[in-house]
Amino acid sequence: HKYVYDFAEGNKDLKDLLGGKGANLAEMTNLGLPVPPGFTITTEACKAYLATGSEPTGLAEQIAAHLEALEREMGRRLGDPQDPLLVSVRSGAKFSMPGMMETVLNVGLNDRSVVGLSAQAGGNDRFAWDSYRRLIQMFGKTVCDVPGEEFEHALDDVKRAKGTTNDLDLDADDLRGLVDAYKKIFSKHTGREFPQEPREQLDLAIRAVFESWNAERAVIYRRQERIPADLGTAVNVVAMVFGNLGADSGTGVAFTRDPASGAQGIYGDYLANAQGEDVVAGIRNTVPLQELERIDKKSYDELLDYMARLEGHYKDLCDIEFTIERGKLWMLQTRVGKRTAAAAFVIAGQLVDEGLIDLDEALHRVNGAQLAQLMFPRFKLDHEFQPVAKGIGASPGAAVGKVVFTSARAVELAAEGESVILVRRETNPDDLNGMIAAKGILTSRGGKTSHAAVVARGMGKTCVSGADELDINIPQRKFTVAGQTVTEGDVVSIDGTTGKVYLGEVPVMPSEVVQYFEGTLDPEQAGDALVQAVHRIMTHADARRRLAVRTNADTGADAARARRFGAQGIGLCRTEHMFLGDRRELVERLILAGTDAEREDALAALLPLQREDFIEIFREMDGLPVTVRLIDPPLHEFLPPLEQLAVNVAVAQERGEDVAKEEALLAAVRRMHEENPMLGLRGVRLGLVIPGLFAMQVRAIAEAAVAVTRSGGSACPEIMVPLVGAVQELETVRAEAEKIIAEVVGDSGVEVLIGTMIEVPRAALTAGQIAEAAQFFSFGTNDLTQMGWGFSRDDVEGAFFWRYLELGIFGISPFESIDREGVGRLVRIAAEEGRAARPGLKLGVCGEHGGDPESVHFFHEVGLDYVSCSPFRVPVARLEAGRAAI
Ligand code: ADP
Ligand code: MG
Ligand code: MG
């Protein structure tokens, strides 16, 4: 079994096996870019190791063979005392997980080879001891779990003794002393000496990288990003090149376009005389990449050339890690770079203009989650709000919340329902939980490529980084800025687009993209690259998609907004909302009716009100179908709660008031009490039990449709019967409804369809029979999930879903994204058997899943005609329906 690949043997399409980093190192090698030689140990070796706890047979020999070849190529032996080869041992999974797993640099250094390294560097002792102390630090922390702070403290001690805060001020002697201190820390924590044998260092580091796949923060990150837990990581062993050799050396990161806005140009950070991690960690402040032109023009020009080549090759934004060793440029990593939602749209549009990709590919490269992000509100600024600081707009959005200074506190307050802004000097992987819990992240150090920035962008969280006017004191839980002190719990507002920080709560307004959808911003005139790109890609999605997109709306206003957002009708108009407010009293009368006459009276009073509601909605949806669901919830939901009513009655009686009416109400509430109301008297059952209720609603719908049509409009009502489980239920309702419709509609030309929701599992399983009586199906996937899993939607999410997610029983709540195998299977069966019984049967879905990107793809595959979702999700569903079709 082949577990080890030389860089020359791989390519960018082998990410499953070589991980993203390894596959792209191979690709760059084969493109002829200057990549230090090395090899990749496959994810399969990692999986085998994790499964058994030991290296698979043959791995050690293959590593030895590739190491030998590397040594031959470099003309140096690993850890050789005179002239050592050093290597880095780098994690690299299929999907990028920035900073989540481990990397160890300078492997091969020991007490003897450190001298050889100095000689190799022309007698540069400082460099050699700096490299050695870094190895002990990284190795100790990563491989042997030595607490990282101990090393940091020792480093701080040395700096303090020297009277400096800059690590560049430390000389060779200081660093040699630090190596001694580090070794003591190492043996104190591990009970052994720092390993001097180079091959042992290498093997232990490889093992540690394998194991870092299951590090807690990596597990959390994967869950958040929905990366499968069983992929494993590859390990890259790469010959070291040194950015810490002096002022003519350095290290940096570069993007081929701005990952925040998508704008073309040169973006990145550079740090002279530094090694790898220093840039990302934000330890010292970096300089903008443009300055490299002044520092080292030859390397700069070369880098720009490679950047252009990589972009042309990958046909996408690339991000790059590079190191300059004494004026020689080395490429250490590239990948198709993460970007903000706005940049994703802008870049896709630009690449189409540049002829690198077509519109289908552009559509493929953006997604509904990104579009949803672009619909977040923005700050509405006036003279009242002056920023107190300006950092780097690292991840866009407008976030307002209470300041917290620790991850733990962020999690605590968020659990209480507070919006919080996590404020840190810089973040590191231990802050991940706090970042997930926070509305926004604010740091005083680090650029666009700092940990905070990269992780926040990945999560779609607002982030301002490097706001260095902030003087942050974590232990005292406060920061000072512009002469003011902000303590935990104070409210701040941060703008992740401009990088500005405001004290207090800044009001928010709709984003440009929402203004575009609303029709108040003309894309042709906007002069705004983002709005133009969104317009273009949405237009293409609309041209491509087969699924229609409708909306869930109960009012004329919602219907009108959804229509502007592109809704092609209403898929779910809930009538129960029309029974609330001051109509409650009429509903009470209906419920309390002792005689037929009383009940008919109450219904007659409700009829004109319902009719008016429908007229308004039909007008707004002129010419488009409107699916109206007959009343669904149990009637007691319209009555006051039992306990409250009982207390009121008792109190009134005490006072000697007349309580006849309240007592009747109380009796009705008692009578109607159910142990499991969701499985009780609701939906079609209600219609069959309460005479005249559905009839009144059907009449109101038909009369409204006739009224709208007679006044020159066009109403297309579809009456939907909820909670049907057996065709007989539907037949009974339908027989009565058809009589009323025939009577009301007459020769007006109005056509009213009658169909049903498929939301009870039995309905899905007998869909062939039900289709005989239904002119359309609409899948109510909320109830179908509830009844399919036996999960009470109102109870289980808070109670135990976290545990299910933790255990991996499912990766995402089945109420959020449809469970394809189970509930989805019911949908599939019903769609197939329904259409077999009634060819051309119209099929749609209403319920939260209609606006969920993953679920939209599923509904496309199953062959539904439309999805229906809340007005704000309509653009998302349009986009995803387009993506599903390409
Ligand atoms: P991550 O995935 O967290 O970015 P990397 O494996 O890319 O981790 O390595 C961490 C840092 O070390 C990066 O800045 C990288 O450029 C640098 N680095 C890795 N290997 C080498 C090497 N062989 N020579 C010099 N620097 C290296
Ligand atoms: Mg890297
Ligand atoms: Mg339902």
CATH of the domain at 231: 3.30.1490.20
171 & 215 share domain: yes
Q: Is residue 175's pLDDT more than 70? A: yes
246 versus 27: the higher-pLDDT residue is 27
Q: Is 71 annotated as a binding residue?
A: no
CA of 234 to the centre of ligand 2 (A): 13
CA of 596 to the centre of ligand 3 (A): 29
pLDDT, position 798: 62
182 & 303 share domain: no
588 & 731 share domain: yes
Q: Is residue 525's pLDDT more than 80? A: no
**Minimum-distance ligand to the CA of 335?**
2
CA proximity to 562, closest of 546, 549, 544, 574: 549
- The active-site residue out of 66, 451, 540, 849 is 451
Q: Is 427 annotated as a binding residue?
A: no
208 & 120 share domain: yes
* Residue 223 located in a structural domain: yes
649 & 695 share domain: no
CB 885 within 8 A of CB 544: yes
CATH of the domain at 274: 3.30.470.20
Longest dimension (CA), the chain: 106
669 & 757 share domain: no
Task: Give the residue, out of 331, 332, 449, with the most ligand 1 atoms within 8 A of its beta carbon, to mutate for a pocket test.
Answer: 332
Q: Is residue 501's pLDDT more than 70? A: yes
Task: Give the residue, out of 39, 88, 240, 451, with the most ligand 1 atoms within 8 A of its beta carbon, to mutate for a pocket test.
Answer: 88
* Residue 689 located in a structural domain: yes
751 & 654 share domain: no
769 & 835 share domain: yes
pLDDT, position 816: 85
* Residue 315 located in a structural domain: yes
**Encoded amino acid at 203, one letter:** D
Q: Per residue in 292-308, pLDDT tens? A: 999 999 999 999 999 99
pLDDT, position 528: 85
| Ligand 1 atom with the shortest distance to the CA of 279 | 14
* Residue 518 located in a structural domain: no
Task: Give the residue, out of 213, 235, 303, 321, with the most ligand 1 atoms within 8 A of its beta carbon, to mutate for a pocket test.
Answer: 321
Q: Is residue 170's pLDDT more than 80? A: yes
| Ligand 1 atom with the shortest distance to the CA of 238 | 23
* pLDDT level of residue 43 (50, 70, 90 thresholds): very high
**What is the bridge-based pairing of β-strands 776-780 and 753-758?**
parallel
Choosing from 285, 311, 336, the residue where a domain stops is 336
CA proximity to 59, closest of 74, 73, 40, 78: 40
198-212 vs 43-52: helix crossing angle, rounded to 10: 80
* Average pLDDT of span 517-539: 89
Q: Is residue 803's pLDDT more than 80? A: no
Q: Per residue in 455-469, pLDDT tens? A: 787 677 899 999 999
CATH of the domain at 578: 3.20.20.60
pLDDT, position 853: 95
CA of 96 to the centre of ligand 2 (A): 9
286 & 206 share domain: no
The domain tally of the chain equals: 5
Distance between CA atoms of residues 553 and 555, nearest Å: 6
* Residue 155 located in a structural domain: yes
* Residue 515 located in a structural domain: no
**What 3-state class would DSSP assign to 494?**
strand
* Average pLDDT of span 362-375: 94
Q: Is residue 281's pLDDT more than 70? A: no
CA of 885 to the centre of ligand 2 (A): 35
pLDDT, position 251: 95
Q: Is 367 annotated as a binding residue?
A: no
394 versus 601: the higher-pLDDT residue is 601
Residue given tokens 């101990």 in the structure block: 150
Residue nearest to atom 27 of ligand 1 (CA): 276
Q: Per residue in 622-638, pLDDT tens? A: 999 999 999 999 888 88
Low-confidence winner among 8-12, 522-526, 775-779 (lowest mean pLDDT)? 522-526
pLDDT, position 794: 75
* Residue 534 located in a structural domain: no
In the sheet where 103-107 sits, what is the strand order?
Answer: 4-6, 38-41, 233-239, 87-93, 103-107
Residue nearest to atom 12 of ligand 1 (CA): 276
The DSSP output letter for 430 is G
Q: Tell me, rounded to whole angstroms, the distance of Cα 214 from its chain centroid.
A: 21
Strand ranges (E), 250-299: 250-257, 264-272, 287-288
Residues with Cβ within 8 Å of 257's Cβ and at least 6 positions away in sequence, in order, are: 263, 264, 265, 267, 311, 317, 343, 347, 350
Q: Which percentage of the chain shows pLDDT scores above 90?
A: 76
pLDDT, position 592: 84
Q: Is 544 annotated as a binding residue?
A: no
* pLDDT level of residue 288 (50, 70, 90 thresholds): very high
292 & 383 share domain: no
CB 724 within 8 A of CB 688: no
Q: Which percentage of the chain shows pLDDT scores above 70?
A: 99
Choosing from 488, 509, 530, the residue where a domain stops is 509
Choosing from 673, 695, 729, the residue where a domain stops is 673
CA of 430 to the centre of ligand 2 (A): 18
Task: Give the residue, out of 41, 89, 103, with the most ligand 1 atoms within 8 A of its beta carbon, to mutate for a pocket test.
Answer: 103
Q: Per residue in 97-115, pLDDT tens? A: 877 778 899 999 999 999 9
Q: Is 40 annotated as a binding residue?
A: no
User: What are the distances in angstroms from CA 445 to CA 376, 398, 441, 668?
Assistant: 26, 20, 12, 64
> Has 846 been annotated as catalytic?
yes
Q: Is residue 372's pLDDT more than 70? A: yes
Mean pLDDT of the chain: 93
Residue nearest to atom 3 of ligand 1 (CA): 99
* Average pLDDT of span 503-523: 91
668 & 699 share domain: no
Backbone angles phi, psi at 722, to 5 degrees: -85, 155
Low-confidence winner among 51-60, 391-400, 806-815 (lowest mean pLDDT)? 806-815
Q: Which tokens go with 504?
A: 């207090």
pLDDT, position 638: 84
Q: Is residue 282's pLDDT more than 80? A: no
Q: Is residue 499's pLDDT more than 90? A: yes
Backbone angles phi, psi at 423, to 5 degrees: -110, 125
Q: Is residue 748's pLDDT more than 80? A: yes
Residue count of the chain: 886
Residues with Cβ within 8 Å of 709's Cβ and at least 6 positions away in sequence, in order, are: 715, 748, 749, 750
Q: Is residue 835's pLDDT more than 90? A: yes
Q: Is 488 annotated as a binding residue?
A: no
Q: Is residue 184's pLDDT more than 90? A: yes
| Ligand 1 atom with the shortest distance to the CA of 103 | 6
CA of 444 to the centre of ligand 2 (A): 22
CA proximity to 823, closest of 730, 756, 760, 755: 760
pLDDT, position 280: 63
* Residue 354 located in a structural domain: no
| Ligand 1 atom with the shortest distance to the CA of 322 | 16
Q: Which tokens go with 218?
A: 């990596």
Could you tell me the residue range of the domain that residue 257 belongs to?
250-336
- Beta-carbon neighbours within 5 Å of ion ligand 2: 321, 333
* Average pLDDT of span 836-854: 94
CB 279 within 8 A of CB 254: no
Residue nearest to atom 11 of ligand 1 (CA): 276
pLDDT, position 217: 83
Q: What is the pTM of this model?
A: 0.82
Q: How many helices (H) and strands (E) does the chain have?
A: 37, 33
CB 199 within 8 A of CB 141: no
Q: Is residue 397's pLDDT more than 90? A: no
pLDDT, position 527: 72
CB 530 within 8 A of CB 409: no
* pLDDT level of residue 526 (50, 70, 90 thresholds): low
The DSSP output letter for 37 is -
300 & 322 share domain: yes
CA of 321 to the centre of ligand 2 (A): 6
Q: Is 759 annotated as a binding residue?
A: yes
**What 3-state class would DSSP assign to 275?**
coil
pLDDT, position 275: 86
| Ligand 1 atom with the shortest distance to the CA of 278 | 14
804 versus 383: the higher-pLDDT residue is 804
- In the chain the first and final C-alpha atoms are separated, in Å, by 38
| Ligand 1 atom with the shortest distance to the CA of 96 | 2
CA of 173 to the centre of ligand 1 (A): 26
pLDDT, position 717: 98
CB 879 within 8 A of CB 547: no
Q: Is the dihedral of CA 542, 857, 454, 96 positive or negative?
A: negative
pLDDT, position 144: 94
- The active-site residue out of 846, 849, 857, 869 is 846
Q: Tell me, rounded to whole angstroms, the distance of Cα 530 from its chain centroid.
A: 20
Q: Which tokens go with 691?
A: 């005479």
Residue nearest to atom 15 of ligand 1 (CA): 276
Q: Per residue in 44-63, pLDDT tens? A: 999 999 999 999 999 999 99
Low-confidence winner among 174-178, 274-278, 830-834 (lowest mean pLDDT)? 274-278
Ligand 1: list residues with CB < 6 Å.
Answer: 36, 88, 90, 99, 103, 105, 238-241, 276-277, 321, 323, 332-333
